[in-house]
Amino acid sequence: MTKEVKSKKGQLNLNRSIFIPTKIGEKAADNLAKSAGSWGFIIGFLIFLALWMAANIYAWLNTWDPYPFILLNLILSCIAALQAPIILMSQNRSAQKDRQRFEYDYAVNRRAEREIQEIKKLVLNLKKK
């Protein structure tokens, strides 16, 4: 699944182990989610829509997609139908990363708690002496 990369001190390096996509589809989903969720994509897409409508309105007599823009609606529906599941895959992957991070944090906290209890016992033993 994920590759566990240990640092020089023998601790698990989560930044390397979690964030390495193992499949091409995972990389593609992450990249699409990054680009499709940006202002550059939104502005570029709005410009594309405006140009599409302007070209069809200007060339009213020889239009390939008359006023209700049915072809444009089909294109937008196809983009949404393909884009939504890919973004959901990226979100699932992000949730998996978060779950692994929480599990690691929990293990570290439990280990720290045990060490604190041991130190507390040692301090109490020193106080008794």
Residue 73: per-residue pLDDT: 86
Angle 70-128/39-58 helices, nearest 10 degrees?
170
Residues 60, 55: Cα–Cα separation, whole Å: 8
Say which residues have a Cβ less than 8 Å from residue 17's Cβ, sequence separation at least 6.
Answer: 2, 3, 4, 5, 100
Question: Do 31 and 90 meet the contact criterion of CB atoms below 8 Å apart?
Answer: no
Residue 1: per-residue pLDDT: 41
Q: Across residues 29-44, what is the average pLDDT?
A: 82
**Identity (one letter) of the amino acid at 5?**
V
Q: Which residue has the higher pLDDT, 129 or 22?
A: 129
- Residue 114: pLDDT band (50, 70, 90) is very high
Q: Which residue has the higher pLDDT, 119 or 48?
A: 119
- pLDDT tens digits, 40-98: 888 888 898 888 888 877 776 666 777 778 888 888 898 888 888 888 888 888 888 89
